Amino acid sequence: MKILVAIKRVVDYNIKVRIKPDGSNVDIDGVKMSINPFDENAIEEAVRLKEKGIASEIVVVSLGGAANQDVLRHALAMGADRAILVESDQDLQPLAVSKLLKSLVDREQPALTILGKQAIDDDAGQTGQMLAALLDYPQATFTSTISINGNEVVAIREVDGGTETIGFNLPAVITADLRLNEPRFVKLPNLMMARKKSIETINATDLGVDTKPRLQLLKVSEPPARKSGIKVGSVQELLAKLRAHEGIQL
C-alpha cells in the first residue's frame, strides 16, 4: 500500500510573528521556517504503518518555492521513501493546493493520503476536506487513531464533544491531529543521508490546474491588547466587585 503525505513549510511554531508596517501581511523575512507540526504527525503515522508492514511506500509532497526542499528532507530523514516538490511562486490557497494534490493522487494512486488537520500559518483547515471532495474519497479529519485491516479503516476523530469512531474503505484521505502520535526525533545521520536523496521537482504549471487565488487578503492587524487584571484582597472584595459589575447577578 502506498501512502502520500502532504507537508507544508510554515513559520516555526516557536516564532512570534510580526506584521509588516503597512499591514499587508505577516513579515517572514529572515524568520525560521519549519514543517507544519500536524504534518509531522502525518509523516510519523505513515512511517509507523510502514514499520508495521501495512504500508510499502511513503511519498511526501510539498507545494511552494525551492526552499520547501528542507521540509521534504526532514520527511525523508523521518523515513519517507520519495519526495516530490511541486514548485510554484504563487500564493497557493487551500483550493489550489487541493487541486494540485488531486493531480498527484491521480498520478501516484496512493491508497491513503495523509495531511495535517490544519496549517498553523493561515489556520485554514480546508485542504484535506476539499481534496477528499475532489477525489470523491471517504475522509476522516482531525484523526487521533487509525487502524487498517486490509481495505478497511477505522478512525477515531477529535470532535467538539469528545471523539467519534468512523469506518470506511480505502482509498481515502485522512487529516492528522496532534494526538495521533508523537513524531520521532530526527537523528543527524538520518538527516545527512536524506541530504543525498534526490527530490523530484514538478512545475505546478505543468499539472494543468487553475491555481488562481480566490481570496484576497485585505489587511493584517494585531489582536486588540488585553486589559491587565487586578488583584483583590479577599473573597468579599471579589464578590462586591462582581456584584457591582453590570449584568452579573450573584
Q: Where do contacts with ligand AMP occur on this chain (CB under 6 A)?
A: 6-8, 36, 38-39, 62-64, 92, 94, 97, 115-116, 118-119, 122, 124-128
| Look-up of cell digits 525551492 | 66
Nearer to ligand AMP, 7 or 146 (CB): 7
CB proximity list for 97: less than 8 A, separation 6 or greater: 6, 63, 127
Nearer to ligand AMP, 59 or 247 (CB): 59
Q: Say if CB 58 and CB 24 are below 8 A apart.
A: no
Q: Say if CB 40 and CB 68 are below 8 A apart.
A: no
Measured distance CA(175)–CA(39) in Å, rounded: 9
CB proximity list for 122: less than 8 A, separation 6 or greater: 94
Nearer to ligand AMP, 36 or 181 (CB): 36
Nearer to ligand AMP, 27 or 122 (CB): 122
**CB 52, min distance to ligand AMP, A:** 22
CB proximity list for 172: less than 8 A, separation 6 or greater: 111, 112, 113, 132, 137, 138, 139, 140, 153
**CB 38, min distance to ligand AMP, A:** 5
Q: Say if CB 180 and CB 144 are below 8 A apart.
A: yes
Nearer to ligand AMP, 49 or 97 (CB): 97
Nearer to ligand AMP, 69 or 118 (CB): 118
**CB 63, min distance to ligand AMP, A:** 4
Nearer to ligand AMP, 132 or 148 (CB): 132
**CB 7, min distance to ligand AMP, A:** 5
Measured distance CA(49)–CA(147) in Å, rounded: 9
| Single-letter residue type at 113 | T
Range list of H helices, the chain: 37-51, 69-78, 94-108, 127-135, 188-196, 235-244
**CB 238, min distance to ligand AMP, A:** 41
- Find the residue with minimal CB distance to ligand AMP: 116
Please confirm whether the linkage preceding 37 is cis (ω < 30° from 0): no
**CB 115, min distance to ligand AMP, A:** 3
**CB 121, min distance to ligand AMP, A:** 8
